[in-house]
Structure 1
Amino acid sequence: MNLDELNSLSEAEATHGFMQCCTASNWVEMMVSSRPFANGQELSSKADDIWRSLGEYDLLEAFEGHPQIGNVDTLRAKYANTKALASGEQSSVSQASEQVLQDLADGNAEYLQKFGFIFIVCATGKSAEQMLSLLLERLPNDKITELVNAAEEQRKIFQLRLQKLI
């Protein structure tokens, strides 16, 4: 799809498209109603402006749209060494050790218990070891700091997805 096609979608189709980028319903509604976008930069800027206007409820709703990395089998599949990763997003990911996978699963569980939402990070291009390092760096934070961190990571994620959308 290109930008002209996005601008021409029905409200329902546009809602579906934006929902693939971010599951915060208020963000999606405002993105749909902000069309048409003159160019990709306007789309990107508007997405950021809307995101920054949202409250904690909206952030948590967006975070819930991500699968929780909670068990070693899921992590093993995610970080398996493969040459066919979609769009090369995780091309720098190497095969992770069982210990790193277990530590990620344990850290994710601890994070959820402490903050009440899952660990959000823009994983594109990050190895399992890098993800674990980021998780361990963020675990000592307080909830407000972590909401800010997770919101910024979510912003990075939807910006990548918007680029893919058009």
Structure 2
Amino acid sequence: MTSSPQRLPDLRETAGPPGVPADTPEGLSRFNSASEAAARAALHEVCAAGAWSSAMLARRPYPTVGELLAAGEAATAALTADDLAEAMAGHPPIGRPRPGDPASAREQRGMAGASDTLKAELLELNLAYQKKFGQVFLICATGRTGEQLRDAAQDRLGNTPEREREIVRTELAGINRIRLTRLIRPEPEA
């Protein structure tokens, strides 16, 4: 199943609820007061696992950003193997961000200036990883160079499937945390 580009739904038009604490960011207020459909769509762009979105929706409203992020980590920790597979299906391979997807391009920025040789190496590693583990190589690529991504793929090829599943869960939690933060604290438009 393919999904549309990872563009987080715009929750700016939703008014915040009355009585929101002064230290609550405006984006969190918008998220808390968004319709269930709008919030679910936004959460799906953070993590493609339906169980994750449902767990996050069930705990709304979130009084603080910290509680939102903690709930995201708890929801990620509770994902089953099938849920993890569903979440991973929402991520493009490293080195091949989805065309027209600014989130994917931003997260994989470290590959932007990579040489053709490094890109070819990473493609081969992605294929070897997918053959061994039956899934895309998932890593929180934000802030990592192409060389660091390549080295991580090489290292992780030596893991057992059980060990790799737990690493994937940790990487997914990091990605979800970054995306949740962007959802409630959008970057200014250029």
Question: TM-score, normalization: structure 1?
Answer: 0.85
Task: State the number of aligned residues.
Answer: 153
Structure 2 match to 1:132: 150
Given residue 102 of structure 1, which amino acid in structure 2 is its aligned partner? Answer: A
CA RMSD of aligned residues (A): 2.0
Q: Which runs of 5+ in 2 are unaligned?
A: 1-11, 13-26, 100-104, 185-190
Structure 1 match to 2:93: 68
Structure 2 match to 1:156: 174
What does residue range 111-126 of structure 1 map to in structure 2 within 5 Å? 111-126=129-144
Q: Report percent identity of matched pairs.
A: 34
Contact 2:93/2:138 (<8 A) preserved: no
2:93, 2:115 → 1: CA distance? Answer: 20
Report the Cα offset of residue 95 of structure 1: 2.2
Question: TM-score, normalization: structure 2?
Answer: 0.75
Q: Which runs of 5+ in 1 are unaligned?
A: 78-84
Going by fraction, where is helix more abundant, 1 or 2? 1
Contact 2:94/2:108 (<8 A) preserved: no
2:67, 2:114 → 1: CA distance? Answer: 39
Q: Does 1:99 align with 2:124?
A: no
Given residue 36 of structure 2, which amino acid in structure 1 is its aligned partner? Answer: E
Given residue 169 of structure 2, which amino acid in structure 1 is its aligned partner? Answer: A
